[in-house]
Amino acid sequence: MRLAFAILALWLPLQAVDETYFAETVYPILAKKNCRGCHTEGGVAAGTRLRFPGDGGAVGAFGRSLTALVNRDRPGDSVLLGKPTGRVKHTGGRLIEPGSAEEEALAAWVSYLAKLPPQAAAEPPVAAAPVHAPVMRRLTHSQYNNTVRDLLGDQTRPADGFPPEDFVHGFKNQREAQSVPPLLAEAYASAAERLARNAFRGGDTQGLIPCQPAGAADRACAARFVAEFGIKAYRRPLSARETERLVTLLLTQASAEGGFIEGARAVVETMLQSPNFLFLVERGEHRGHELASRMSYFLWDSMPDAPLFADAASGALETVPGVERAARRMLDHTKAQEAFDEFLGQWLRFDRVLGTVKDRRLYPQFTPEVAAAMVEETRLLARELAWRDGNFMDLFTARYSFLNSDLARLYKLPEPPSEFARMTFPEDTDRAGILGHASFLAMSSKPAETSPTIRGIFIREQFLCQQVPDPPPGTNGNLPEVTPDKPRTNRDRLKEHVANPVCAGCHNLIDPVGFGFEKFDAIGQKRDELILKFLARPGQDGKVPKQKEVRLPLDTSGSVAGIPGGERFSNPRQLGEILAASEQCQDCVAKQVFRYAMGRRETAADAAALREMSRAFRESQFRWKRLIMALITSDAFRAARS
C-alpha cells in the first residue's frame, strides 16, 4: 500500500478531494456496503471507533471525524483502509476489493485526512434531540381489554378478535406504528356497540350511573354521569363543551328511546369510539392526569384507579416523592404482575412460541399444550426474579427452572413432584436460564431444523439491543440442501454465508452466536450429534425402503464478538454467564423497559435517564423494582410529553 500511496500523492493534486468529494464519492461507497447498518447507535458494531451520525448529522463533519482511524505517519496502514479491504481483521469481512476503484476512492480520502491539521478534524455530529410535540398512543389490544374490564366490568376480552398488531422495535405499543386502519376502526365501532349494550343489560347492573334519575329528562343526573364516567373513560376531566355535547346526546337519546338508561348507553358507546378513549393523548393540558395514565398503562397495562385519579387531581404527582409513593402502591398490586407478563411476552416473543409449527414426523411430541408449557416455564422464572427481589440477570444464569411433566420428559429429567414445580438442573447440565429454555430454543428454530442465524439475531437484538441490518434486496437466504449423498451440519451449510462478501458482514456477527446452541434441537431437546433422517420414497415395485439415517458430530463452539468474554463458549449456560456479566446486556434490559414504557425508541435527550436506570439497576444488584422506580421518577418519564 505504500507504493499505492506514492502514486496517489502524484494523482491527488489533480483531483478535488474535499468534503464534497467525500459526500459524493466516498460516503456512497460506505452506504452501498451497508457500513452504517452496523456502525451506528444500537448497531452490532456500535462499540467501535467508527460511528455514523444519526439522522440529521452532517456528512462533511462525519468525513473529517474519520481522521481518528487514519495513521498520519503511514496512511497506507490506516484501519479505515485496512478493515473494509480485509487487510486488517474485520468482523464484517471484506467489503471492498483490493485494487478496485472503490479502494482508490477510499485511499484518496485517507490520504487527504492524513494531511489535515489535527484541529480540523471533528467528532461525528450528534443529531439534535427532537422536540416532542403532543403525541397520541393507541391502546394496545391488551390495554383495551383491561381498560373495558376496569371501566365497565366487562370480562369478554373483545380486542382478542381485533386485527393483529405489528411489532416495531420489539413491542406492539410503539407509537410510530399505531395507525387505525379501516378494519380496526370497524372493530372498534362493533365492540363499542356491544360493550355499551352489555353494560346496561338488565339495567345499571355495573353501577355506572352515580345518581337516581328523576325521569328521562333529568339534566342534573345526566351531567353528573357524564362528568364522572367521562373522567374515567377519557382519563382526564372533560371540558365544558364536551360535557354539554354528551349531556345533550344522553337527553336526546333518552327522550327518543324512552329511558335514561338508553341515553346513558348512547353516551358510553360514543365515548368508547372517541380518540380520547382509544388513545393516550398527551398535550400538556392535564399534566397530572397524563402522568397518571402513563404510569397506569406502564405499571398495570390498564387505566388509573380511584386513588391514582385522586393523586392526579390533588397535585401529588407533581413531585418525585408523590410519584414514588403512587408507584410503590401500584407495584404491590397484582395488576403489576399481570402487566409485567405482558411486557415479558412481547420482549421474549411468546407469540412466536405459541404460534410455531414443527414437523410432526420429526417432533410428534410437540403440541400446542407443550408450547404453552414452554411459555409458562419462562414466565414463572422471570416472575420469581422480578417479584421476589431476586437478581434479574439470573434470568440468563439460573440453574433451576419450573417444569411440568411434559417439559421434564423433554429435558430428560425426573418427574416433577407437582405441575411447574421448581427443579434444579444437574451439575453437569448445559442448560441455564432462558437460553436453555425450550421456549427460546423452539421459537428460534425452523419447523424441521435449528437455525443458528435466527438464534444469533434474537440474542443480538433482544438481549444486546443491537440492530442487525436487513439483508440486501434479492438476497437468497436458502441454505444448501442436505441430501443423503451430501449430509452436512448447519455450520458447514452456513459457510456459504461467510464466503459471500455481501453476506459475510452480518453473518460473521450472528451465526457464531447461534453455533453455541447446536446441541439443542428445534424443540429444545439435548442432542450429542446431528441425526439426519431422510424419508424414503416408494420404489417402482411399490415397496418403501428403509429410512436412511446419517449421524454427524457437532461443533458447538460459538462466540459473541464485541462483548467482554464473548470470544468463546459452547453451550447456553456459558453464554448466559457472559451475558449476565456484560454491561451491554444489563443496559439493554433497561433500554427494553424504557422503550416499552415510553412507546418509542430512546433518543439523545434520554441518555441521562438511561444512565440513571442502568446505575440504579446495577447498584441494587439488579432488582427489577429498583429499575422500574428509576424510570418512573426520571424527568424523561415524568415530562408532559413522552
Please tell me the distance from the alpha carbon of residue 78 to that of residue 99, in angstroms, as a whole number. 16
Please, which pLDDT band fits residue 64 given cuts at 50, 70 and 90? Answer: confident
**For the chain, which residues make up each domain, given as ranges?**
2-120, 135-282, 347-580, 583-638
Please tell me the distance from the alpha carbon of residue 501 to that of residue 404, in angstroms, as a whole number. 46
Could you tell me which residue, 68 or 40, shows the higher pLDDT? 68
What is the signed CA dihedral for 324, 325, 327, 332, rounded to 10 degrees? 140
| Rounded average pLDDT over 409-413 | 96
DSSP string over 395-435: GTT-SEEEE-HHHHHHTT-PPPSSTTEEEEPPTT-S--TGG
Give the pLDDT of residue 55.
56
Please tell me the distance from the alpha carbon of residue 406 to that of residue 23, in angstroms, as a whole number. 59
Question: What separation in angstroms does the CA of 532 have from each of 221, 362, 438, 529?
Answer: 74, 10, 21, 10
Please tell me the distance from the alpha carbon of residue 78 to that of residue 17, in angstroms, as a whole number. 18
| Number of helical (H) and strand (E) elements in the chain, helices listed first | 30, 6
Flag whether pLDDT at 15 surpasses 90.
Answer: no
Please, which pLDDT band fits residue 98 given cuts at 50, 70 and 90? Answer: confident
Query: Nearest CA to 490 among 539, 458, 529?
Result: 529
Flag whether pLDDT at 6 surpasses 50.
Answer: no
Average pLDDT over the chain reads 88
Model pLDDT for residues 353-384, shown as the tens digit of each residue: 999 999 998 999 999 999 999 999 999 999 99
Could you tell me which residue, 72 or 433, shows the higher pLDDT? 433
Please, which pLDDT band fits residue 11 given cuts at 50, 70 and 90? Answer: very low
Give the pLDDT of residue 474.
64
pTM: predicted TM-score of the whole model, two decimal places:
0.85
Q: All 3 cell numbers of residue 497? A: 454465508
- Residue 441, burial from CB neighbour count under 10 angstroms (0-12, 13-18, 19+): buried
Task: Map grid coordinates 440477570 to a residue.
Answer: 393
Instruction: List CB contacts of 506: < 8 A, sequence separation 6 or more.
Output: 37, 38, 44, 92, 468, 469, 471
Model pLDDT for residues 530-572, shown as the tens digit of each residue: 988 876 666 666 665 666 788 999 999 999 988 888 889 999 9
Do residues 322 and 311 make contact, with C-beta atoms less than 8 angstroms apart? Answer: yes
Give the pLDDT of residue 37.
66
The separation between the first and the last C-alpha atoms of the chain, rounded to the nearest angstrom, is: 52
Q: All 3 cell numbers of residue 443? A: 421459537
Please tell me the distance from the alpha carbon of residue 183 to that of residue 191, in angstroms, as a whole number. 12
Side-chain half-sphere exposure of 371, counting CA atoms within 13 A: 18
Question: What separation in angstroms does the CA of 589 have from each of 182, 395, 541, 597?
Answer: 35, 11, 61, 12
Please, which pLDDT band fits residue 126 given cuts at 50, 70 and 90? Answer: very low
Flag whether pLDDT at 492 surpasses 70.
Answer: yes
Give, as one character, the DSSP assignment of residue 578: H
In degrees and rounded to multiples of 5, residue 599 shows phi and psi of 70, 25
Flag whether pLDDT at 7 surpasses 60.
Answer: no
Q: All 3 cell numbers of residue 286? A: 392535564
Please, which pLDDT band fits residue 458 given cuts at 50, 70 and 90? Answer: very high
